[in-house]
Amino acid sequence: MNNIESVVKSRHSVRSYKDQKIEGEVLEELQKEIQKCSEESGLNIKLVLNEEKAFGKTHYGSFDNCKNYVVIMGEKNRKDLDEASGYYGEKIVLKAQEIGLNTCWTKLTYNKAEVPCTLNENEKISIVIAIGYGKVKGTNHKSKEFSAVSKTIENVPDWYKKGVEFALYAPTALNQQKFKFELKENDEVSLKTAGLGLCTKIDLGIVKYHFELGAGLDNFKWSE
Ligand SMILES: Cc1cc2nc3c(=O)[nH]c(=O)nc-3n(C[C@H](O)[C@H](O)[C@H](O)COP(=O)(O)O)c2cc1C
């Protein structure tokens, strides 16, 4: 298993955190990745440290001691806001995992009103990622089979198999894994998600990034 594979396979949602602060080199690396993702994506991504209210216990009980989080903000009318948030957010999630931190994507179970970020005009919070040193490391989610998420099943190249395998390790809202890949002619790959759920397009961006990591960008092209 190479490094990125072990990072992808060891990432699980963690909702319970130690008091240990994010600081020193780990903080520097995390900030660097956030900065890079902000610049590449045009999203406004901020790290909030040592803030207890957004995941405070009274209302948002599923989280324990979460005091750090990444806030992803973007233009309200940007068409690909959710997909880009998923794609770049997952880059940050996997970088965090690589440097010893744990994470959990959160659309609903935090208190938006307590997030101390100033939104620019026409901007909204697209999603938040809880981050810190987990008291636990999480466990594997229940996963669909290859054949349930790939229209193409027979005679597929190894890179495609690996891409789908990585996608099955991706976090999705409520672990729904409502995505379908298809291998088309000329090494083109299509990825579609079913339904219009609140997080469908965020999931799409996350899953897309996982597939690219597994398959290798040199091996295929996304089809429209
Ligand atoms: C877009 C998105 C939104 C999510 N929102 C929440 C949330 O509001 N609260 C929560 O506890 N978990 C949330 N999750 C975490 C999922 O429940 C979790 O990723 C899924 O069950 C798979 O488990 P895993 O991340 O451990 O692989 C969210 C995940 C994604 C990708």
Whole-number pLDDT of residue 35: 98
Q: What is the pTM of this model?
A: 0.97
> How far does residue 178's CA lie from ligand 1's centre (Å)?
14
Q: Tokens 């594979």 map to which residue?
A: 5
Q: List the structure tokens of 1.
A: 């298993």
* Helix H or strand E encompassing 221: strand 221-222
Task: Please state, for a pLDDT cut of 70, what percent of the chain lies above it.
Answer: 98
Our mutation pick for probing the ligand 1 site, out of 12, 140, 172, counting the most ligand atoms within 8 A of Cβ, is 172
Tens of pLDDT, residue by residue over 48-60, are: 999 999 998 655 5
> How far, in Å, from the CA of 85 to the mean position of ligand 1?
14
Report, as an integer, the average pLDDT of 117-130.
Answer: 95
Residue pLDDT, tens place only, 90-113: 999 999 999 999 999 999 999 999
Residues with beta carbon inside 6 Å of ligand 1? 12-13, 15, 62, 104-109, 138, 141, 171-175, 199, 202-203, 206
Structure tokens at 137: 């490391």
Which domains are delineated in the chain?
3-132 (3.40.109.10), 146-222 (3.40.109.30)
DSSP annotation string for 42-90: --EEEEE-S--STT-TTT-TT-BS---EEEEEEETT-TTHHHHHHHHHH
Gap from CA of 107 to ligand 1 centroid (Å): 8
* 121 within 8 A of 66, measured Cβ to Cβ: no
Ligand 1 centroid vs 186 CA: distance in angstroms?
Answer: 34
Both tokens of residue 158?
Answer: 């190894």
| pLDDT tens-place string over residues 18-44 | 999 999 999 999 999 999 999 999 999
Question: Please, how many CA atoms are within 13 Å of residue 63, restricted to the half-sphere of its CB?
Answer: 30
CB 102, CB 63: distance < 8 Å: no
Helices (H), the chain: 3-10, 24-41, 81-98, 146-149, 158-168, 200-215
